Structure formats: structure tokens, C-alpha cells
């Protein structure tokens, strides 16, 4: 058996196997590339983009930037504030503003009507304090009632229609 050849894989067989793996990988790459191109084409036509399994969906286009809003400037002598009120007090306040506007044919702006109502209430501060103290004392002594939760209804103020 002298001069016998070594048995094994034919020459180039490993190269062929390696090429087959490479060809398979490149076939997958080619298919993925083809799908991406088709997806881009359909997406540019306004249709939903196609996607290859395992690839993330294309990012949505960013919405247009909104122009920066200039800071509000308060008219001279005016200020903007927020107050929390019981719902029924806020409803009564809104109704009073509407009554003033109806009575003046809409010629009195809302901010003027609100200012007048608030100033009228400010003049009643000394009359309101004893009622609020009573409600507070009842709350502290355990004699609290539902009426004490809305002290603005406990104040005896004369009511006049405008």
C-alpha cells in the first residue's frame, strides 16, 4: 500500500461547504435588502411599510416642531391668580358674573364683573370672620356638621339683585 492516497474529503469540498454557507447568508441578505427596498417604495407611496420578521418597524416621522409660544404679558394693573373654591361657590360666582353681564347688556367684561364681586366680598370680611371662627370651633370640638364644610353658605349677607 505504498503510494496509496490518503482518503478524505475531495479537494475543494471544504471550500464548497464554506461557499454554500456564504451563499446562504448572502441569499438571506439579498432577500432582506429586497424587502427593505420594496418596503421603502410602498412607504413612500403612503402605504404601510412591509417588514422582515425580526426587524424593528421603521420609525415614524417626527411631528413638525411647534413654534415657541411667547410668554404672556399681563395688562397693566392686572394679575393672574388661581384659587380653589367649593364647586357650589364657583357655580354661584359664575352665575353672578352672568347676571351682571346680562344686566349691562354684555358691556361689562368678565374681569370687571369678577373684580366688583370680589371687592364687595372684601368689604364683608369683618362680618365673615365670626362665622368662620364658629365653624372652626365646632370642627375642633367635634360638633362639626356638613354646613360647616361650606362656610360661605353660613354667612348672613344681604342679597340684592343687580
Residue among 126, 130, 132 at smallest CA distance from 152: 132
CA–CA separation, 6 and 63 (whole Å): 70
Helix (H/G/I), strand (E/B), else coil: 101: helix
What is the domain partition of the chain in residue ranges? 12-58, 87-153
58 grid coordinates: 421603521
CA–CA separation, 103 and 120 (whole Å): 17
Neighbouring residues of 64: CB distance < 8 A, sequence distance ≥ 6: none
Neighbouring residues of 49: CB distance < 8 A, sequence distance ≥ 6: 39, 40, 42, 43, 57, 58
Where helices occur in the chain by DSSP H, the ranges are 13-44, 87-103, 110-122, 125-141
Q: Are 79 and 141 in contact (CB under 8 A)?
A: no
CA–CA separation, 30 and 1 (whole Å): 50
- Is the entire prediction scored with pTM above 0.85? no
Where helices occur in 45-73 by DSSP H, the ranges are none
- pLDDT, tens digit only, all 162 positions of the chain: 555 555 555 555 555 555 555 555 577 788 888 777 777 766 655 545 455 566 666 677 778 878 787 787 888 889 889 999 999 999 999 999 999 999 999 999 999 999 999 999 999 999 999 999 999 999 999 876 665 555 444 444 444 443
Amino acid at each position: 500500500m505504498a503510494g496509496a492516497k490518503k482518503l478524505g474529503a475531495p479537494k475543494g469540498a471544504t471550500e464548497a461547504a464554506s461557499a454554500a454557507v456564504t451563499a446562504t447568508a448572502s441569499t438571506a441578505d439579498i432577500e432582506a435588502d429586497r424587502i427593505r427596498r420594496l418596503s421603502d417604495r410602498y412607504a413612500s407611496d403612503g402605504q404601510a411599510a412591509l417588514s422582515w420578521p425580526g426587524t424593528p418597524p421603521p420609525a415614524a416621522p417626527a411631528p413638525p416642531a411647534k413654534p415657541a409660544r411667547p410668554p404672556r404679558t399681563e395688562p397693566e394693573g392686572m394679575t393672574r391668580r388661581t384659587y380653589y373654591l367649593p364647586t357650589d361657590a364657583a357655580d354661584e360666582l359664575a352665575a353672578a358674573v352672568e347676571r351682571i353681564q346680562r344686566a349691562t347688556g354684555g358691556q361689562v367684561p368678565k374681569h370687571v364683573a369678577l373684580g366688583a364681586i370680589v371687592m364687595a366680598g372684601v368689604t364683608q370680611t369683618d362680618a365673615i370672620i365670626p362665622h368662620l371662627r364658629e365653624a372652626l370651633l365646632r370642627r375642633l370640638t367635634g360638633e362639626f356638621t356638613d354646613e360647616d364644610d361650606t362656610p360661605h353658605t353660613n354667612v348672613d349677607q344681604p342679597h340684592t339683585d343687580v
